[in-house]
Structure 1
Amino acid sequence: MTLTLAMALVAPLAAPVAAQETQLSGTVAEVFGTQMVLTTSDGRLLVTLPEGTAAPAPGTALTLTGTRTGDTFAAATLSAGTAAPVADEATLPAPLRGLGLSDIRTRRDDDGDVYLYARTATGWLRAEARGDRLHEVQGDGAGLPPDLIAAMLPAPARDEPRLTEIARMTEIEVDDDGEISVEGFAADGMRIEMEFARDGVLQGFERETDDRRSMTEAAARDRLAALGYRDVGFVERGGRHVTAIATNPSGDVVEVRLDDQGRVERERLWLN
């Protein structure tokens, strides 16, 4: 990529803006000589590297200090960092603490609900919460961590004999009345849904063939890689589509959806 093309990514300033010492974090999108384009939560910035500093590879997460003038940044120092704010475990809802989560990414909506993605020891999870109360958790890979399941289900639900038929639990949802829905898969691949009252007493049980026509999780990850996406996190299968959090070829963290043929149906920016 040429310097001229890179500068086209930076909108010209209408008037001079006073430079100020500041810090920012982002992901390297493109590198050319002593400059790079950095994708941050505020957009893409043209960054000049400190003199004598080796250029980091595209995709590298950095934290920089330096002087920002409009949409350009003169870096004084840079170090390995994270491209998006990482939640402190102490700020997470209680059931999510102590699980060894990493690569935590959160987003808050206008109603105060928090949407969270994080890596577990065996895959990724997605959660929706308000304050310390989890509304919903979903897991891919090996499913939800056992300690999280134990924290979210009342003792009568955990002791329900039919719960043992679920070999891989993928979702727990708690509605506003405290009633609990559980979804997962039996060892033979059958899909299981269970409903519990707020006190954990079983109210419904359903077992059916998994008839989803969407790509498998593994196939979706391979397809996203072939399309130029990287850092693929949580992957959710729907009836005919797959939705994933990933970094697109331009270096933006996005939520991307593939149809059952592996074509991109939708992509939208994941805002922190």
Structure 2
Amino acid sequence: MTDSMLEDPVPEHYPLRFKDLSFMKSGTENKSLQLIAKLSNTQSSPTIINTMNCLEHSPLAHLRHQNQLPIFPIGPLHKLAPDSTSSFLEEDDSCIAWLDKQAQNSVIYISLGSIASMDAKETEEMAWGLANSKQPFLWVIRSGPIVGSEWIESFPKDFKDSVGERGCIVKWAPQKQVLAHDAVGGFWSHSGWNSTLESVCEGVPMICRPCFGDQNGTARYVSQVWRVGWQYENKLERGEIEKIVLRLMVEEEGKEMRKRARDLKHEIEAGISNLQNSLDELAKFIISYYVTPYHS
């Protein structure tokens, strides 16, 4: 497969491009195409998915029609157990007190999840892009994710002086609480599915910087289907970072995106009120499965 073909859409899987498929980076393009064909034509088992019809109506309908098997969208799961946490890292909730001092929708929250990492140069460019934007920011930098350095001790003094109280940097944040805070007006995300669900549920628009796995596909849905974020595909460079942060947080285009994010939040809230129906259908299916075992 040529580089130009990587930009081509995957048949019957809008809005995905071939480059958005996680297994395309393995170098086994022929096997990848065979897998797409297999996924599109084979039957599978009944499936429970952490999603909602209002978020993925078309692909869910396609799966149901294609496989003629039950699909149960039981999500978003974090709303079913709002007081629980799936984080295996210690959360620093001191950032909430800092958020309490910030204006509504003024803060951009940056977190690349628990696995992705940046090298020292990328971190420096991100730091200065945020500083030059003059926007308040809450930045999660895990201990040890920067190659060859130790957390924020690697930041130069002039960066810290430039940012002052406008920036808050923590090793890990209580993300659901952060995204629900009135001060947070944008989320720079790696587009992990859990983070994306948490963001759209709170009506927070995104800048998507996917790293691997399904994150590219999720970023495409955020930017092309739901239209509540932009996908940042360029090299991390301070001037570009400054521009896209201002685009989201200050400019009219960002305000329109924030409105779409709020509208999507309301759709999700309406869908959650009907979630009991999906749970009832799932319970009935499980009971029927044991009464009359399902045969594939």
Pairwise same-fold verdict (TM > 0.5): no
Pick the structure with greater CA Rg: 1
- Normalized per residue, the structure richer in helix is 2
Of structures 1 and 2, the one with the larger relative CO (CA 8 A, separation 6+) is 2
- Normalized per residue, the structure richer in strand is 1
